[in-house]
Amino acid sequence: MIIDATGLHFRDLNDKIRGGGESIRIEHCLGQRYILSGQKGKKVTIAGTPGNALGACLNGCDITVYGNAQDAVGDTMNDGRIVVHGDAGDALGYAMRGGRIFIRGSAGYRTGIHMKEYGDKKPAIVIGGGAGSFLGEYMAGGVILVLGLGLEGCPLGNFTATGMHGGRIYVKKGQAPPHLDGRLTVGDADEADLAVIRPLLDEYAAAFRVKAEPIRKAGFYAIKPDTDNPYKTLYAAN
């Protein structure tokens, strides 16, 4: 089913998507927000630029965007997959608990803040370019993989992973990561890490038709928290 989004209000567009079949193509998308919020069981391709909160609370759709995405993609996402053939805005994957997000280019500030995992739900964000500041703040679980493709310097911004107490952030090797919170450890990705990275990298390569091998050869840094109880010693009972 093809939906022409020209001039459609987001509520009307979402109604059409809800009423549409399992496979939908949205054309001429221009800034409509909340597309597929809370939805599941659909395969949707979007041509154009979806507005903020694409796939927020997503519960199991496969979304492909041919264009850039804006802020809050995959906010509080529970399941599904979002592939963006372009860049993404701020607050990507906030508090996501499940599913995978692939951004061909770069992501804005506050990516993957408070990502978490539970049981078999292990969310992943893969960013082809760089990420803005505050990447993975308060991260409690899941995986963020930053490839830095086409970038000269370090693909991470300031305050990366502050307050991180779970999960992993992997960065393709190159320039050393910037100064990180003292509670984090930074080292080379080990075999267990590479076992996590490999399928994500392959999926990225397949989605965007790039070669995985040269990226893999460069190797990866792994950023890990040194405790999952970061505030244990902060308080005095009164």
Partner 1 sequence: MAIEYQYPEYEVVRDHDRCIGCRVCERQCANCVHAFIEEKERMTADESKCVNCHRCVALCPTHALKIVKNAHTFRENANWSGQLIREVYRQADTGGVLLSSMGNPQNHPVYFDKILINASQVTNPSNDPLREPVETRVFLGKKSHRIERDGRGAILPKIMPSLQLKVPVLFSAMSYGSISYNAHEALARAAEALGICYNTGEGGLHEDLKKYGKNTIVQVASGRFGVHVDYLLSGAAIEIKMGQGAKPGIGGHLPGSKIFGDVAKTRMIPAGADAISPAPHHDIYSIEDLRQLIYVLKEATAYQKPVIVKIAAVHNIAAIASGIARSGADIIAIDGFRGGTGAAPTRIRDNVGIPIELAVASVDRRLREEGIRNEVSLLAGGSIRSSADIVKAVALGADAVYIATAALLSLGCHLCRSCHAGRCNWGIATQVPELTKRLNPELGHARLINLVNAWEHEIKEMMGGMGINSIEALRGNRLMLRGVGLTQKELDILGIRHAGE
Q: Which residues bind partner 1 (CB under 8 A)?
A: 10-11, 14, 18, 33-34, 37-38, 40, 52-53, 56-57, 59, 71-72, 75-76, 78, 91, 94-95, 97, 110, 113-114, 116-119, 121, 134, 137-138, 140-141, 163, 165-166, 228-238
Q: Which is nearer to partner 1, 60 or 174 (CB)?
A: 60
Q: How far is the CB of 63 from partner 1 (least distance, A)?
A: 15
Count of alpha carbons within 13 Å of 47, Cβ hemisphere only? 9
Query: Which two tokens mark 15?
Result: 């109604």
Q: Measured in whole angstroms, how far is the alpha carbon of residue 41 from the centre of its chain? A: 20
For residue 14, the surrounding DSSP H or E stretch is helix 10-19
Q: How far is the CB of 18 from partner 1 (least distance, A)?
A: 8
Q: Which is nearer to partner 1, 71 or 193 (CB)?
A: 71
Q: Is residue 34 within 8 Å of residue 55, measured between CB atoms? A: no
Q: Which is nearer to partner 1, 54 or 207 (CB)?
A: 54
Measured torsion, CA atoms of residues 124, 61, 38, 52, in degrees rounded to the nearest 10: 70
Q: How far is the CB of 218 from partner 1 (least distance, A)?
A: 30
The dihedral sign for the CA sequence 160, 116, 63, 211: positive
Q: Which is nearer to partner 1, 20 or 38 (CB)?
A: 38
150 secondary structure, DSSP code: T
What does the alpha-carbon distance between residue 92 and residue 117 come to, in Å, rounded to a whole number?
16
Q: How far is the CB of 48 from partner 1 (least distance, A)?
A: 19
Q: How far is the CB of 165 from partner 1 (least distance, A)?
A: 6
Q: Which is nearer to partner 1, 34 or 170 (CB)?
A: 34
Query: Which two tokens mark 100?
Result: 């995978």
Q: Which is nearer to partner 1, 76 or 106 (CB)?
A: 76
Count of alpha carbons within 13 Å of 39, Cβ hemisphere only? 27
Greatest extent of the chain over all pairs of C-alpha atoms, in Å: 62
Q: How far is the CB of 97 from partner 1 (least distance, A)?
A: 6
